[in-house]
A and B are shown apart, each in its own frame.
Chain A
Amino acid sequence: MKKKLCTLLSGVLALSLGATLFGCGEGPGGGDEPTVDESGNTIIKIMVHVAQQSPEGMAYNRITDEFNASQTAKDNKIRVRVNYNPRSTTGTGYETELGNMLNQGTLPDIVTFDAPNTWSYAEAGILADVSELISEETQNDFFEISKNTYEGGLFGLPIQESSAGIYYNKAIFRNAGLLGRVENMTADNAWTVAEFEDICNSLKGRCDLPVDLQLYKAADETATYLLYPFILAQGGTFLSEDGMTATGYLNSPFTVAAFQKIRNWVDSGYTSYDASDVGFYTGKYAMYLSSGWSIPEIRNKYREQLGDDWGILPYPKGGANQAASATGSWSFGMTTQCRATEQAALVLEWLVSTESSVSITDATGMIPARQSAITVKNYTPGSPEFLLYDQLNKTGKTRPGTIAYPEFSSAFRGIVNDMRNSGNVSSIVSTKTTELQGNLDRYQR
């Protein structure tokens, strides 16, 4: 019987220990040589944040397949492998995984990342400076505001741009006799905040809600992304140049006043924290603050409700004729652990090429981030896309650059969240500023 005991125990031991000892030291990646497969091809691994079955994922699939097919050389081909890693509901899984991979030396060659993370990823050594690897011509074709720069280096190129605007239901405006006031608005002759308020006031009672600002999206980045231009346009500030000081910036009188405005709009019934996220789509709300990604949504799923009787208006200008609009989308970057940098640079150029930009933006409804792709797209003036593009070039402002972006966004969203239940905006802003400053100071110690 002793023997049986031994057999069982050694079985279990072998299972755990054996697994422990085998394969030690042959972890994926980390070698000095680029990963080469048995036929001598260089493998370039890409990790993306979307699901393979999503429209964007299918576009990546197509582009990378085309890349692999384009490799006709007999030997030394480049083979691209894509790892689709959709973000979970809580949204931090993808970022945490990047951190873990960095620590273990298992980063893929190319990753996607959200533009505001450029500073922290560059600083942490996840992203490599590609300014020497990407051709001058390609670099110059991208809009200056869209490039992922940090301390003079180029750490990534955007997949697309994501300008946002205020969607409006033309039928509701027509019935209220307001269509003439907004119909021909462009980024140059944008409305002012006062006009925006006036129109909201006139729309009250003529629809379920004058405007949905997606205030309920303050659980994730969406709220920061959509609302920060409102604050900037009214003279508000967020952080110092180096991204390390919030006191005196986030709690500046202009910032507080701009947040107060949002709260006033809620009080006046112009917008609501409890709006339905399909209220505009189903024709119940007059206006909807959203990104370009709502365009395919409306055209594909809500054509019945809205038809073509809708448009996009620019962000309203602030008092001193200041203007700002949202920018910053997900980008492709090369990691510092990439060994075959020349081959990866080729792949990177392919991923953000004019054709790829057109192909991806066709799927996502966003606008390309490079001039040549815009030329191909040839938007007609007056179309929703044209307004987004025009606005991006004329009033686009990035979110504040800081290596502590998650903390900043959290503070921003915290203010939006807390304003839901308290009208004492200056006290909310001051609490969040103190807390954010404490979080920023951690980086200095």
Chain B
Amino acid sequence: MSDTGKQMMSPAMAAERVAAGLAARRGREKRFRIYGRIAIGIALAFLVTLFVSIFSKGIPGFFQHYVTIEVALDRAKLDPAGDLSVQSLYDGDARGVIRTALYEAAGASGRSGRKAAGKIISQGAEQRLRNAILDDPSILGTTRAMTFAVDDDVDSFLRGFIKRETPEKDRRINDKMIGYIDVLNDKGLISFRFSDYLVFGSASRNAEMAGIYGALVGSILTLAVCLVLSFPLGVATAVYLEEFAPKNRVTEIIEININNLAAVPSVVFGILGLAVFIGTFGMPRSIPLIGGVVLALMTLPTIIISSRAAIRAVPPSIRDAALGVGASRMQTMLHHVVPLAMPGMLTGTIIGMAQALGETAPLLMIGMVAFIVDVPGSVTDPGTVLPVQIFMWADFAERMFILKTSAAIMVLLAFLILMNAAAIVIRKKLERRW
């Protein structure tokens, strides 16, 4: 080998040159490491900002101001027909009864004074009074302390978003109202407590009455439809493709198809629902049934892909053992492989359901964005879902809607975290290491 003309650099010289460059290289190393830290810092800072921004508004959103007044429940005024029917209660003058009590408590007098005081209490108060009577008719004829939500502008004032110092014409509540609010406050009649409207109320254009109950029920119904369809279909498809499907062109097309479906933007599934179920089949809009079907088609790829991975993770020795004692392929599958793969399948399904729970765009397309006051009783009643409710509320400018939207987001996030935690627990608990 010594026939080469070129000389190697001596180790000593090489070491010298290496040493010369070291400081600069260490500097570059340090900088690179810092870039990585900065990147992670940015990502975590975003996360913190997002959660702080939601939680700082959402936690106050779980509470609202209520006023407690002594209401004289005059039977003749409230139940003119005297039969305690809903119709009779509606014909009665619940509003007048409440207002009278309010004027008394706030010391309001005069036409303008009463007008101002009347605006303090929520429009939902009458319904609440009627419900109280329906629940317990024996309260009629007595005088009771009853608690009603205040109007959302009053609530904003009490929270300090509407400032006393603002000139009267620029704020949504006038000086007279502020005076009465002060009176009520001094008497200790105004309280800040957990918002029952948020949890038990439904869609309402009045911020103080708005709640997520209807949307929550809608979400549950929609998810139920989604689960009932996507879980069996997803598992059946995974079993077929993984264990039985002949390896041919058709199977290949199905597999490519599933991968492509996983990449299709969710809004396109909404278009599918709109064009096929509503357009072609003429099904009604806004119903959880179609929402569930659309979400099921959307989550199917997720479930199929994770179920296939779970089946693949079952070692061949289990199959060989079952086949070896004379079980048919189907028996091997149903008695041995599927039960063993079940934790993985369930995990994938829960993650798919969590995706479906947070999905908004496709449901907008099939009309679940309609303003629906009634709580859906079945999958064919018009309804909405939690994310869509959040979307709709986000459009309203009222301060209280912003708070309630954030609170609704917290509820949604709580469900999502719960589902993901469940998936992790199932994976940890039931997963077998081979």
Question: Does chain A bind chain B?
Answer: no
